[in-house]
Amino acid sequence: MGNISSHVSIEGCKAYYNVSLDCSITDYPRSYGGLTKGTLQGDPDIAGIGIVSVFIAVSGFALVTALIAVIWQTIKCYRKSIWSFTEEREKDHTSVSEILETLVLSCSDQQLFTGAAYALAVRYWRGCTLSAYHYNVVANGLLITLATHLLAITVVLHYWKYPFLATIRAAVTFGVFWAAGLMMAKRHTQVGAEHGDESFPIKIPGADAPDDKMFLAAGCFQRKSHDDKFNEAWSASLQSTGAAFGMENQGWNLWFLMMVWWSVAIAAEVLRWIRRGQGKRGLRRNLIHRTKTWADQTGPEAPTAKFSIKKVNWRLVGSVFFKIAFLLYLYAGLGISAVVVISSGTYIRDLRSWVHDTHWLENDPSGHDEEQDANSLGQLIPIFLSSLTVFAFLQAVNEKVSRHRKRKHAREERREGDEEKESGYAYADDQQHLLKDPECGSRKGGNKGYLPWAGEPPAYQSTATSPQNPRLPPRPAPARTWAEPSSISSRATNTHARHGTSSPGTWPHPAASGAQGPGNSSVGSRWDYSPLNFG
């Protein structure tokens, strides 16, 4: 495996960067690499109070937010039914957990590229000029960023909601993991001791120690032959867990623990991806179907006694098991990240405090060292970038509120549509009832059985023989004509014969009574049908 800091060594700095490292230590006067007390150049872009505070504050905020999200997930797991594999219904409310997860993911993205920038800087530009003190600060700062990334991939359930973006995010995260692991392997105290060299200074000296070899350049403790120590350390850690956590290099122990759990989180995301595909056609749906079928066949309802396990419902057991495993998975990832943030943050704080108490850093004309001020450009950029979390929070809230309003409006529109549909059905039922009324004729006969009341003007005769369906679009009005007396008389006769009434009189013609018809402009008396008696 290639080494991100393979050139950070006495040989590499001379060959590739033309930098000759001075690794000498003298007692009178006390000096490290030719530097005496008060002449060590500070580096505010790496160990400044602003950048360190932002790293710890952002990770701490992500940790607290993730804790709230995990507690919320625990409440949801106990409130939901765990007795079936039924799919969740469509959410009809604003999700609190999604807002919390958005904040955690925003903190992770914010530190993702910052950590990548530190790793590249150590690899290509600053490796030969960093002191062991600044090297330790960078290494532990990367551990803090990795803890935030571990929180994101563990707690954020919609991490893979957008697969393309999530793939890029996971690839960059793996690159930062790899770079941090190489830096931790370089700091392995046993690496230098095996070759008779000075071991890398990691442990913070006591308060009574006025100086330490930590002020030497980091390249003084690294050799070109150390490049394969990452593989050796990784193999030893896999063969024995005690070998990993028994090392004096605390950073390697934490990194190894996070790397293992990050792999577990990737596997868990694959299982989530398979489970989310149960509603889609394809391999994922078939796999879930086969699993459920196996659970049914080995449960109490198994078809044969050979595969039957009485009084055991494997679907129930599997549901409960996955619920408990899911909660343990969340709390384990949260606990590992909390340990890393607290331990690495405490280490950086104590190391900076000891260095500033020794007065080895060079002071500015005002008597303060540069690392105590947060006004450098390298510190202001991460400080202002941290405000992106606020924008991410506001955006998440705005999206949820807008989505809630859209759902509310959709419900109101559906309710109004249902009311209109019900009123339309009621009107149609009334029309059907009138058509079936004996006094108005049957549905089969249409309007043939209808006769106007006495004193009512005559109706136009329609060519339609069946009632209009109220659910269909209205048909065009047919041409109407005034009925002839013979047709009216025959219609009335047939109608009364059907009803068993006496023979009716004759229908008068409009011209006989002087009534006004469509083509008659004269004004006459109204038609009188009172002599007709239709029973």
pLDDT tens, residue by residue, 113-150: 888 888 888 877 888 888 989 999 999 999 999 999 99
Which pLDDT tens digit goes with each residue over 57-80? 999 999 999 999 999 888 877 665
The structural domain count of the chain equals: 1
The pLDDT value given to residue 199:
78
Range of the domain at 196: 10-81+96-258+311-386
Q: Is the pLDDT of residue 371 over 60?
A: yes
Q: Give the closest residue to 182 by CA, choosing from 220, 134, 127.
A: 127
- E-strand ranges in 98-150 read none
Report residue 293's pLDDT band, with 50, 70 and 90 as the boundaries: low
Q: Is residue 56 part of a domain?
A: yes
The pLDDT value given to residue 29:
76
Indicate the DSSP class of residue 26.
E
Q: Is residue 518 part of a domain?
A: no
Q: Is residue 509 part of a domain?
A: no
The pLDDT value given to residue 338:
95
Q: 240 by DSSP, 3-state: which?
A: coil
- Residue type for 185, please? A
**Mean residue pLDDT across the chain:** 71
Q: 17 by DSSP, 3-state: which?
A: coil
- The residue length of the chain stands at 535
The pLDDT value given to residue 138:
92
Which pLDDT tens digit goes with each residue over 452-493? 444 444 444 444 444 555 555 555 555 554 444 544 444 444
Report residue 334's pLDDT band, with 50, 70 and 90 as the boundaries: very high
The pLDDT value given to residue 381:
85
Calpha distance 268→262 (Å, rounded): 10
The pLDDT value given to residue 411:
78
158-167, 480-489, 520-529, range with greatest mean pLDDT: 158-167
Residues 6+ apart with CB under 8 A from 339: 254
The pLDDT value given to residue 147:
95
Q: Is residue 378 part of a domain?
A: yes
Assess whether the previous peptide bond of 29 is cis (omega < 30° from 0): yes
The pLDDT value given to residue 288:
59
Q: Is the pLDDT of residue 259 over 70?
A: yes
The pLDDT value given to residue 17:
79
Report residue 322's pLDDT band, with 50, 70 and 90 as the boundaries: confident
Report residue 535's pLDDT band, with 50, 70 and 90 as the boundaries: very low
471-487 burial: b if 16+ Cβ within 10 Å, else e:
eeeeeeeeeeeebeeee
The pLDDT value given to residue 360:
86
249-254 mean pLDDT: 80
Q: Is the pLDDT of residue 21 over 60?
A: yes
Report residue 291's pLDDT band, with 50, 70 and 90 as the boundaries: low
Calpha distance 159→162 (Å, rounded): 8
Q: Is the pLDDT of residue 87 over 50?
A: no
Left, alpha or beta for 249 (phi > 0: left; psi -120 to 50: alpha)?
beta
Residue 25: in which H helix or E strand, if any? strand 25-26
153-162 mean pLDDT: 86
Q: Is residue 163 part of a domain?
A: yes
Calpha distance 109→115 (Å, rounded): 10
Which pLDDT tens digit goes with each residue over 216-231? 888 888 766 555 566 6
The pLDDT value given to residue 209:
73
Residue 32: in which H helix or E strand, if any? strand 31-32
Q: Is residue 370 part of a domain?
A: yes
Calpha distance 104→153 (Å, rounded): 9
How many helices (H) and strands (E) in the chain? Answer: 16, 2
The pLDDT value given to residue 318:
62
The pLDDT value given to residue 231:
65
Calpha distance 88→157 (Å, rounded): 15
60-64, 200-204, 369-373, 417-421, range with greatest mean pLDDT: 60-64
285-307 mean pLDDT: 53
The pLDDT value given to residue 152:
93
Which pLDDT tens digit goes with each residue over 400-439? 778 777 877 787 788 877 777 777 656 555 555 555 555 5
The pLDDT value given to residue 349:
93
Q: What is the pTM of this model?
A: 0.68
378-396 mean pLDDT: 84
The pLDDT value given to residue 345:
94
Q: Is residue 16 part of a domain?
A: yes
29-43, 337-351, 438-452, range with greatest mean pLDDT: 337-351
Q: Is residue 297 part of a domain?
A: no
Provide DSSP, 396-421: HHHHHHHHHHHHHHHHHHHHHHHHHH
Provide DSSP, 290-325: HHHHHHHHTSTT-SSSSS--TT--HHHHHHHHHHHH
